[in-house]
Amino acid sequence: MTAAAVQPAAPPVVRAEGLRVLLPSRDGRELAAVDGVDLTVQPGEILGIAGESGSGKTMTALALLGLLPHGARTEGSLELDGVDLLRMPIKQLRALRGAEMAMVFQDPMTSLHPMLTVGKQITEHLRFHSGINKRAAMARATELLEQVRIPDPARTIKAYPHQFSGGMRQRVAIAVALACSPRLLIADEPTTALDVTVQAGILRLLDRLRREEGVSIMVITHDLGVLSALADRLVVMYAGRIAETGSTADVLGYPRHPYTRGLLHALPHPELGSAELRPIPGSPPALADRPPGCPFEPRCSESVPSCAQHRPELLPIGGGRAIACPVDPYAGADDVASEVVTS
């Protein structure tokens, strides 16, 4: 993974400020699935969004694409190349979707059209957005399949998704997504359903595509290993808010927010030997039950009384890092590994 591919000085491809996604609840209230998120994605950067289910990470991506569930309302701003997506008329958004930003989902079996050949899916997409003729579209489709390293593209073009293995289907899904050379590729749990050896191939593919095509990628997953391999920067989300953000090396190597540390401690470590795994006690709050103060406070071993009353702001702490924890108990502490062995 080369940091040289990232262009930090250029204007961001994606900028979210105070983004909130509000969903209507059964009893008429509005619940914030995403509750005040600020983030940016630079050109050529891979941004990882880490979080468990219910953290709001997928909703953030859906907000970008305008694919929020019926009845959802948004607040704040969400820009793609400086243009506000939240207030954009749907026709314009549809033109952007697929062309400037595209998405790859977890299950390629349900995200690819089962009744269309692979070639048709790519060419339909291309011709809808760019109106090129059939021959040019087929040529581009072949080119794309080669880019995603699918063997024998000429034969693949005529085949149907169900004839492929999971890994191959995901490569096809990526090819479809990249057809119109989007600025932003959003990948929501792209490898969760795949075997680990196949996953390795997809991760390498995404990294190479970022370097060769300059596309920015937003990878959303609960799997910290995947993010460690792929992402330049990380955003850790919990209960609709950002807990911590910074470069991947910093956030995973020297986590500061108690939630991030808890997540890493819950994972198996080679250094742990035969000692027990250390899960975070309790579970994330349901959408309707979020506490008024810091959402992580009920499970936090470092909390102080004020944590339950005041919602922490995401504050920069230098070096491109920011955390939402006034207590910040691990400021200047050792990295995760040594912490694990000694405590």
Partner 1 sequence: MSLLELRGVEVVYHRPGRDVRAVAGADLSVERGQIVGLVGESGCGKSTLARAAVGLVPVAAGQVLFDDVPVQPLRRRARDPRERRLQMVFQDPYSSLNPRRRIGDQIADGLKLAAGFRGDPRKKVAELLERVHLPTDAARRFPHEFSGGQRQRIAIARALAADPSLIVADEAISALDASAQASVANLLVSLTRELDMGLLFISHDLAIVRQVADVVAVMYLGKVVETGVTAQVWAEPAHPYTRALIAAVPPPDGSGTLPKDLPGDVPDPAEPPTGCRCHPRCPAAFAPCPVVEPPIVSLGDGRTTACWLHTEPPALVAGSSVDRDGAADNTSEVA
Distance of alpha carbon 246 from alpha carbon 209, whole angstroms:
23
**How many CB atoms lie under 10 A from the CB of residue 276?**
6
Name the residue nearer to partner 1 (CB basis): 46 or 99.
Answer: 46
Alpha-helical regions (H) of the chain: 57-65, 90-96, 108-111, 118-130, 134-147, 153-156, 166-178, 196-213, 224-230, 248-253, 258-266, 336-342
Residue of 95, 337, 338, 341 interacting with partner 1 (CB under 8 A) = 337
Q: Closest approach of Cβ 127 to partner 1, in Å?
A: 30
Integer Cα distance of 284 and 236 in angstroms: 14
In the chain, the amino acid numbered 245 is T
Whichever of 75 and 107 has its CB closer to partner 1, that residue is 107
- List the one residue from 249, 288, 304, 331 that touches partner 1 (CB under 8 A): 249
Under rule CB under 8 A, residue 37 binds partner 1: no
Write down the least CB distance from residue 221 to partner 1, Å. 11
Task: Say which DSSP state 66 is in.
Answer: T
**Gap between the Cα atoms of 19 and 76, Å rounded:** 5
Closest approach of partner 1 to the CB of residue 319, in Å = 14
Backbone φ and ψ for 220, nearest 5 degrees, come out as -110, 120
Nearer to partner 1, 3 or 115 (CB): 3
- The least CB distance from residue 73 to partner 1, in Å, is 28
Q: At 244, phi and psi to the nearest 5?
A: -160, 150
- Residue closer to partner 1 by CB (options 65, 336) is 336
Choice from 59, 85, 224, 322 touching partner 1 (CB under 8 A): 224
Residue from the set 98, 108, 119, 201 that interacts with partner 1 by CB under 8 A: 201
Q: List residues binding partner 1 (CB under 8 A).
A: 1, 52-53, 165-168, 195-201, 203-204, 207, 222-230, 248-253, 262-264, 266-270, 272, 274, 276-280, 283, 336-337
